[in-house]
Amino acid sequence: MNKITVLKATDITKKFPETVANEGINFSLHKGEIHALLGENGAGKTTFMNILYGIYMPTKGEILINDKPVRIKTPLDAINNGIGMIHQHFMLVEPLTVLENIVLGLKEQGIVVDRKAAKKKLKEIAELYSLEVNPDKKIWQLSVGEQQKVEIIKVLFRGANILILDEPTAVLRPQETEPLFDILRKMKKDGKAIIFITHKLDEVMAVSDKISILRKGRLVKTVDKEGVTKRQLAEMMVGRAVLFEFEKKEKKAKETLLSVENLDVYSTQQGVKVVEDVNFTVKKGEILGIAGISGNGQQAIVQTIAGLRRAVKGKIVFEGKNITNKSPRYIAQIGINYIPADRIGMGLASDLSCIDNAIMRNYYKKPISSSWIINYKKSEEHTRRIVDMFNIAVADIFAPIKLLSGGNMQKLLFARELFENPKLLIASYPTRGLDIASTEFVRKQMLKIRDEDMSVILISEDLDEILSISDRIAVVYKGKIMGIADAREIDKNTIGLMMAGTRLEDITL
């Protein structure tokens, strides 16, 4: 079959002052193709897509659309060339409705907006690709999965036949991934071409036709999905053989470090109970996994432990001391460190430098500061230690952290909290957006501190992750704990049933 090339990029090179993010990339995309783009954190995937979408101009290289050379200087140029992009972080306006978001900006593009016609067109697109959303709902009322649908509709509304999706599954619940793939398959059948970025090799195998691998800014290979294995892909990404397994040492449970008793927490806005009569303990040198579909109260539980939310009822005891409703600073000082789920905003200050972000937990302590004066040399050393140990791709630690790739920001956040030597580390989705090697590294770090008798609460939706590193697993559903089990005695099926609301004692094993 003769394939029609819709996009061709030749010799694309992008140099930033301190980094060569893309170098000599040659890439072709065909009609009716799902093309996965793989590569380690910082390999240059987002940069390359930003060039195709007109956010950056390449230092060198050429882009051809339907065999015609084009200059894409702005996203509007990209849209006019039929290219649409769904970013790693969504760009919707929260107080506006779905319809308003979709027609937003059309006027500037010289398109006259007729609301009724727009609504009709929106409905047609939504029906064609099973993208059901209510056009009159406000963005903030929608789940992340629904917001993603709005982004996709928006791109299709503007007539895109080339769609770029930058890590679309990183924000989705596991059960939302397959429906997204169905949408992609429908678009592909319709002759659209799709570039899809992910770190998950199972997803690549499930949905893509072609796979391109970036390593250190260069495109090392483009292969057909058929005939390639996950192991080979991992090797191409990293440049060497990759081990997928690690060992979890047998360990005896010790004394209790933290106990949560009869905890009730209410939501900040509507005053609804989001955590109800929750009880559990974390022992010294133990990893307690909390599994559950996101939005079932797991964040509220750990935020309350971290002092970021108020317990309305119940008690939190740490090392025998009642720490209920203490300040976040107090909680951090007694040795509980918290890695939030949303890295930008809660975890990191995007306009501050890597150094400022790295010392955010210890700037007031020795050796980073003495008598209230920050020691810049020590701050720098501290940051370099973090960067070296976690292999963080950063050209200039004095530059704003927002210039780092998504995965590298996540690594810095994790490392910062780990370097505090916490007695208890609370980690929400710590491997989200990380490449294979970094995921393994972060998991090993959690096992290492556990072996050194520190404790971890791990929140994750990735059941393989939860099962492979936790000692015990608690499952939450609608703010309640459905049961807590030894990780060696529970399987994915049982966890799945509990995540859907069945209590452990009602499941016959």
- The item of Mg ion, ligand ATP, none sharing an interface with residue 43, based on CB under 5 to 8 Å by kind, is ligand ATP
What is the nearest approach in angstroms of Mg ion to the Cβ of residue 203? 15
DSSP annotation of 342: -
What is the nearest approach in angstroms of ligand ATP to the Cβ of residue 13? 12
CA distance linking residue 15 with residue 6, whole number of Å: 26
Residue 7 CA: distances (Å) to CA of 38, 76, 77, 193, 357: 18, 17, 14, 9, 39
Of the candidate residues 44, 58, 61, 340, the single one contacting ligand ATP (CB under 6 A): 44
Please give the residue whose beta carbon sits closest to Mg ion in the complex.
46
Interface segment toward ligand ATP; rule CB under 6 A; list 94-102, 297-305, 397-405, 423-431: 397-405
CB 323 within 8 A of CB 317: yes
The tokens describing 459, both together, are 């929140």
What is the nearest approach in angstroms of Mg ion to the Cβ of residue 265? 34
Of the candidate residues 169, 324, 408, 428, the single one contacting ligand ATP (CB under 6 A): 408
Under rule CB under 6 A, residue 218 binds ligand ATP: no
CB 466 within 8 A of CB 473: yes
Under rule CB under 6 A, residue 45 binds ligand ATP: yes
Under rule CB under 6 A, residue 387 binds ligand ATP: no
Under rule CB under 6 A, residue 16 binds ligand ATP: yes
Q: Which of residues 386-405 bind Mg ion (CB under 5 A)?
A: 405
For ligand ATP, the closer of residues 405 and 494 by Cβ is: 405
Under rule CB under 6 A, residue 406 binds ligand ATP: yes
Q: Beta strand pairing status for 424-428 and 336-339?
A: parallel
Find, among 372, 356, 353, the residue nearest to 364 by Cα. Answer: 372
CB 24 within 8 A of CB 57: no
Under rule CB under 6 A, residue 296 binds ligand ATP: no
For ligand ATP, the closer of residues 219 and 456 by Cβ is: 219
What is the nearest approach in angstroms of ligand ATP to the Cβ of residue 400? 9
Residue 379 CA: distances (Å) to CA of 240, 346, 357, 359, 366: 34, 21, 10, 7, 11
For ligand ATP, the closer of residues 260 and 409 by Cβ is: 409
CB 149 within 8 A of CB 131: yes
Q: Which of residues 301-360 bind Mg ion (CB under 5 A)?
A: none
Interface segment toward ligand ATP; rule CB under 6 A; list 44-52, 107-115, 316-324, 382-390: 44-52
Q: Token match 């995965």: residue?
A: 407
CA distance linking residue 25 with residue 292, whole number of Å: 41
Of the candidate residues 135, 406, 479, 483, the single one contacting Mg ion (CB under 5 A): 406
Give one word for 217, left, alpha or beta, with left for phi > 0 and alpha for psi -120 to 50. Answer: left
The overall longest dimension of the chain from CA atoms, in Å, is 73
- Phi and psi dihedrals of 254, rounded to 5? -115, -155
Which residues touch 457 (CB under 8 Å, ≥6 apart)?
282, 287, 288, 290, 302, 305, 424, 425, 426, 427
CB 384 within 8 A of CB 305: no
Under rule CB under 5 A, residue 46 binds Mg ion: yes
What is the nearest approach in angstroms of ligand ATP to the Cβ of residue 397? 11
Under rule CB under 5 A, residue 44 binds Mg ion: no
- The item of Mg ion, ligand ATP, none sharing an interface with residue 47, based on CB under 5 to 8 Å by kind, is ligand ATP
For ligand ATP, the closer of residues 45 and 423 by Cβ is: 45
Q: Give the interface with Mg ion as residue ranges (CB under 5 A).
A: 46, 405-406
Q: Give the interface with ligand ATP as residue ranges (CB under 6 A).
A: 16, 19, 21, 39, 41-47, 393, 403-408
